[in-house]
């Protein structure tokens, strides 16, 4: 069954292609004293530092993608500063945070409904959080993860006071991941299976990557292999006009032949970014329509209507939906689906996607739905936003 993943890392803003420095001081909002050992990092990247004994920090980076500055320490509320390149306050105050109360798994409302154990909930969480294709990828502090299953809405919710520490030996990264909002939405249809099908999952958080590879050749090859199947590589190839060389082809719904990207996208330079406009007249109508029970059951198979099904409740409009075919292995082509909830967006040099609304507010992947092969790429197969082969 295909699934949709909505995975958010950050709020993003202007891009830079040269070395920069962000500096400041961190204080306790209650005592007004400086706080040492505060983690400072650019979200979703490998750029990081910590405050010294005087609460001072200096973060140097280069060739960075569009991201926010994360300020985090156990015992305090995390702060995310969008567009830090335009300057940040000289003094930043962290608010002490009360300990997260233990989430108790509620008893099912009906006696004939299966009640999940902690072990089963953790297995369900890891399967969707890390991904089924993740290799040699482990969570080091599973006890910190608080889990709740809502039996009325068939939803699994995860929280953690401390960052989740993910050790990805396969790709050579340690990921410190602070969950902001994570839940899995399961089907509410009568299911005879032991585990309900996943309709979609939402994962909002802040990620710090630490490179553990030591330039190992095999690890480098694995990273490059994973990268060539990502949406970042697709968008980077799109703006560089290298889709064919990158083994990507595009289909639209109902089409029998591949379509040229120039018939779907209009690309313009805007300083160091590319502005991409959907040529919606060239894309078949993707207006959200209500589905019958039979149509929803198609989610268990290969229904191409799944993206619309996810949006029925919200009533959001799909401006365009395309099917991406990855022919890197021609004998085993991989299909992905992208549904755009806006008719224009921006792409940076790393292939990161984002949208700017009419008021200038920056929004991230909640304006892009990803299904199929790319939708199955989760924390266990994800790369830093500043990754380049």
Looking at residue 38, its pLDDT comes to: 96
Please check the confidence at residue 235 and state whether its pLDDT lies above 80.
yes
Please check the confidence at residue 310 and state whether its pLDDT lies above 70.
no
* Residue 65 binned pLDDT confidence (cut-offs 50, 70, 90): low
Name the residue with higher pLDDT: 250 or 288: 250
Lowest-pLDDT choice from 39-43, 48-52, 199-203? 199-203
- Give tens-digit pLDDT for 139-159: 999 999 999 998 888 899 999
Pairing of strands 362-363, 353-356: antiparallel
Please check the confidence at residue 5 and state whether its pLDDT lies above 70.
no
Name the residue with higher pLDDT: 311 or 184: 184
pTM, two decimal places: 0.80
Looking at residue 297, its pLDDT comes to: 31
Compute CA distances 57 → 30, 52, 65, 149, whole Å.
20, 7, 21, 40
Pairing of strands 39-42, 362-363: unpaired
Looking at the chain, list the stretches that DSSP marks H as alpha helix, in order from N- to C-terminal side.
118-130, 217-227, 231-239, 293-297, 306-311, 372-375
Lowest-pLDDT choice from 83-87, 121-125, 185-189, 284-288? 284-288
- Main-chain dihedrals φ then ψ at residue 265, nearest 5 degrees: -120, 140
Looking at residue 305, its pLDDT comes to: 47
Looking at residue 302, its pLDDT comes to: 36
**Averaged pLDDT score across all residues of the chain:** 80
How many CB atoms are located within 10 Å of the residue 331 CB? 5
Whose CA is closest to 223, among 389, 44, 9? 389
Alpha-carbon distance of 143 to 389, in angstroms, equals: 35
Cα separation of the two ends of the chain? 31
Please check the confidence at residue 217 and state whether its pLDDT lies above 90.
yes
Alpha-carbon distance of 325 to 336, in angstroms, equals: 7
- Give tens-digit pLDDT for 93-132: 999 987 555 454 455 555 566 788 899 999 999 999 998 7
Looking at residue 62, its pLDDT comes to: 75
């Amino acid at each position: 069954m295909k699934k949709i993943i909505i995975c958010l890392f950050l709020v993003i803003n202007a891009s830079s292609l040269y070395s920069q420095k962000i500096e400041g001081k961190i204080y306790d909002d209650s005592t007004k004293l400086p706080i040492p050992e505060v983690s400072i990092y650019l979200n979703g990247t490998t750029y990081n530092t910590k405050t010294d004994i005087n609460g001072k920090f200096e973060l140097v980076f280069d060739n960075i993608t569009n991201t926010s500055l994360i300020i985090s320490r156990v015992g305090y509320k995390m702060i995310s500063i969008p567009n830090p390149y335009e300057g940040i306050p000289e003094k930043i105050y962290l608010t002490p945070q009360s300990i997260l109360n233990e989430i108790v798994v509620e008893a099912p409302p009906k006696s004939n409904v299966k009640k999940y154990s902690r072990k089963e909930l953790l297995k369900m969480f890891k399967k969707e959080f890390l991904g089924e294709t993740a290799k040699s990828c482990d969570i080091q502090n599973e006890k910190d993860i608080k889990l709740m299953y809502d039996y009325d809405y068939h939803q699994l919710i995860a929280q953690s006071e401390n960052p989740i520490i993910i050790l990805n030996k396969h790709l050579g990264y340690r990921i410190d991941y602070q969950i902001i909002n994570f839940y899995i939405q399961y089907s509410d249809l009568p299911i005879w299976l032991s585990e309900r099908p996943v309709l979609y999952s939402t994962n909002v958080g802040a990620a710090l990557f630490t490179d553990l590879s030591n330039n190992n050749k095999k690890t480098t090859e694995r990273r490059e292999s994973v990268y060539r199947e990502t949406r970042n590589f697709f968008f980077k190839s799109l703006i560089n006009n290298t889709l064919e060389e990158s083994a990507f082809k595009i289909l639209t719904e109902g089409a029998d032949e591949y379509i040229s990207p120039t018939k779907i996208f209009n690309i313009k330079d805007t300083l160091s970014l590319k502005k991409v406009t959907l040529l919606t007249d060239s894309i078949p109508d993707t207006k959200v329509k209500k589905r019958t029970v039979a149509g929803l059951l198609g989610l268990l198979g290969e229904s191409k209507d799944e993206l619309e099904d996810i949006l029925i409740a919200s009533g959001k409009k799909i401006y365009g939906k395309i099917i991406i075919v990855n022919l890197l292995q021609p004998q085993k082509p991989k299909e992905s689906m992208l549904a755009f909830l806006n008719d224009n967006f921006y792409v940076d040099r790393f292939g990161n996607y984002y949208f700017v609304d009419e008021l200038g507010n920056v929004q991230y992947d909640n304006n892009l739905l990803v299904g199929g092969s790319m939708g199955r790429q989760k924390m266990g197969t994800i790369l830093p936003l500043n990754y380049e082969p």
